[in-house]
Amino acid sequence: MATHQPEPDLNGRRILICRPEPEASRLASRFRSAGADVRILPLIDREPLPETPERRTLILSLDEFSHVIAVSPFAARRLLEEVDTWWPQIPMGIRWYGVGAGTAAVLAEHGLSPRRPPAGWTSEALLALPSLQKLQGERVLLARGETGRELIRETLESRGARVTLLPLYRRFRPDHPPEQIRATLDTFAPEAIIALSGETLNNLIALCANSGHNLYDRLLIVPADRVAEQARAAGFRNPCIPGSLADNDIVATVAAQLAGRNGGSGKAK
């Protein structure tokens, strides 16, 4: 018999979300429904790259690829928008992949049947899938940002694949006015900070250094072991990885950790 999980109780707890929009507002709504006081200070933003003839040609040759991988929900949405523009019907016979459940869900909403890691949401977890082990001569399209980790490309190429990068957007650090930073970090004084990428964490570290704020003793929610180690090396004492990157799991992990329990994935150190 399934055990009913109690609703997270974050009444009056102060949560800072550093995600880009629209994900930040969606997560904030879930935190507020649990009683939390929430502020949003995006430390990373994204903008679509302008279309180029080369990218149009790549999309038009979609049927030449055996595997198409989207590295994030945003990458998946941007890719599907472009595919819809040039293909009245998505070509058959392609294996689609999402790095994690959220990315796979975007592809599935489009009528696709994407593959994703059975557990985890990292590049490493994706690369463990059986269908990505032996790729001699097979073409792989990798939809991503203008820059990013090279692990997927390098690993698949080492397995014999011919990988083509499809940059669809660029990431950048928003320029927040000093008064907004003071109001958020001084007056609000968050108890927990949500930073769900290594780049977001880097921007948080830079923000602390440039503004003279010390947030290193706060609960810090990060997406993976790699980023948790990065946070510890920078001086953060309480990084924690949630059970998944779904909004409900992030909220439940924060509630458990702030209540002094070993919540989430149990990886808080």
User: What's the confidence (pLDDT) of residue 212?
Assistant: 73
User: What's the confidence (pLDDT) of residue 182?
Assistant: 86
What is the spatial order of strands in the sheet that 14-17 belongs to? 37-40, 14-17, 192-194, 219-221, 238-240
Q: Which fold has domain 47-171?
A: Rossmann fold (3.40.50)
User: What's the confidence (pLDDT) of residue 10?
Assistant: 93
Instruction: Please state, in angstroms and rounded to a whole number, the distance separating the CA atoms of residues 71 and 114.
Output: 12
Q: How many CA atoms lie within 13 A of 155 on its CB side?
A: 14
User: What's the confidence (pLDDT) of residue 209?
Assistant: 79
Pair of tokens at residue 177: 């006015």
**In sequence order, which residues have a C-beta less than 8 Å from that of residue 215 and are 6 or more positions away?**
185, 190, 193, 204, 208, 236
Express each pLDDT in 86-113 by its tens digit.
Answer: 998 899 999 999 988 889 999 999 999 9
Instruction: Please state, in angstroms and rounded to a whole number, the distance separating the CA atoms of residues 37 and 57.
Output: 48
Amino acid at 245: L
Q: Report whether 251 contacts 243 (CB < 8 A).
A: no
For domain 14-44+175-258, is the CATH number 2.170.190.11? no
Alpha-carbon dihedral sign for residues 106, 108, 109, 111: positive
- By C-alpha distance, which of 115, 74, 107 is closest to 90? 107
Q: Is the peptide bond prior to 22 cis by the omega test (within 30 degrees of 0)? A: yes
Instruction: Please state, in angstroms and rounded to a whole number, the distance separating the CA atoms of residues 95 and 199.
Output: 29
pLDDT tens-place values along the chain, 269 residues long: 333 456 788 999 999 999 998 899 999 999 999 999 999 999 999 999 998 999 999 999 999 999 999 998 899 999 999 999 999 889 999 999 998 888 999 999 999 999 998 877 788 889 999 999 999 999 999 999 888 788 999 999 999 999 999 999 999 999 888 888 888 888 888 999 999 999 999 999 888 877 777 789 999 999 989 899 999 999 999 999 998 888 999 999 999 999 874 443 444 33
- By C-alpha distance, which of 26, 35, 27, 29 is closest to 8? 35
DSSP type of residue 198: H
Residue 158's φ and ψ, nearest 5 degrees, are: -70, -20
Q: Where are the domains of the chain?
A: 14-44+175-258, 47-171
User: What's the confidence (pLDDT) of residue 268?
Assistant: 39
Pair of tokens at residue 221: 């929610």
- By C-alpha distance, which of 258, 174, 166 is closest to 220? 258
Q: Distances from the Cα of 98 to the Cαs of 8, 40, 175, 215, 244, in angstroms?
A: 29, 27, 31, 33, 15
pTM score above 0.85: no
How many CB atoms are located within 10 Å of the residue 213 CB? 16
Express each pLDDT in 169-198 by its tens digit.
Answer: 999 999 888 888 888 888 888 999 999 999
User: What's the confidence (pLDDT) of residue 185?
Assistant: 86
User: What's the confidence (pLDDT) of residue 240?
Assistant: 95
